[in-house]
Structure 1
Amino acid sequence: MLDHEFHGKMVKEYSENQIAVIGEWIRKNIRPGRLINEYDSYAIKQLLEIDTGICMTNDAVKEAMFLAGFRPECSGDENWRFRILLVREINENPNPFFNWLMVEEYAEGTPEADFITDVSQDFRFPVFADHDIIRGYLENADAYEETLDAFERLWAEYEK
């Protein structure tokens, strides 16, 4: 049986615009799946926050997923798990740098090409962020100096 104690908090705690952004993010990034995904409600909360900048509670994410039609596999747990596929709608992503990065071509094996490949596969990469947030993300992830240099070269080229 589902614990509905939290139900309705999302509507009270977030603006209509924020609720629309959250719903749109779920619609674009999460699909029904056959297997239970490794990303539980807390991990989804973190991804959603990175992408949208909206800081949500775990309960609000549970409610949003429930309202979007996703049912938890074990609703008694603190962090819910769902049968979902997590995808990334790169072509509709609003960050101009990220969009630019995804269409740039560099010779295979170059630091720039490696950086682009890593970013395209990193679901935690702050795709909606500006230079300073991306740089901070890379530094917090203990990126190699070569990776940081590649990012700076790519950012400088993007700004031209």
Structure 2
Amino acid sequence: MNPTTEFAGAFQVIAMDQRNAGGRSRAPITSQDSWDSYTADHIAVLDHLGIEQCHLYGQCIGGPFILNLIQAQPQRIVSAGLAQPIGRVEAALPPRTERFNMWANTLTDHPEVSEQVLDAFCQNLYGPGFAYCVDRAFVSETEASPCR
């Protein structure tokens, strides 16, 4: 499903160009970057566009992005759809995944990136477990209804 075409008939659709994920958005990568860094990006875009409330839809990594935005600014979110969100059931963070390492290998134009920065960044994103940016208690307390 492509939400930019599926929802365009009824909504103004804003698609995310996640920084440093292969699109046009770039920024330095630091050992302090986390889900909150991306949430700040999302809030800045909404503020810049003057959007006070919105509906959110996200697939895969979009799930944690949405959950963190709901946690940060719940008054802004009218509804949210999470399709196959990423997360982790087991408690321990495994070593950096092959997918993370493949992404890291594309960062040849980021001289600020070292193995130490990458390890910290990976831990900040994937260390917390479950939905990565919020805990099980937050998710279970978030009002939800099944899709129809």
Of structures 1 and 2, the one scoring higher in RCO (CA 8 A, sep 6+) is: 2
* Fold conserved between structures, TM > 0.5: no
Query: Between Structure 1 and Structure 2, whose CA radius of gyration is higher?
Result: 1
Q: TM-score, normalised by structure 2?
A: 0.25
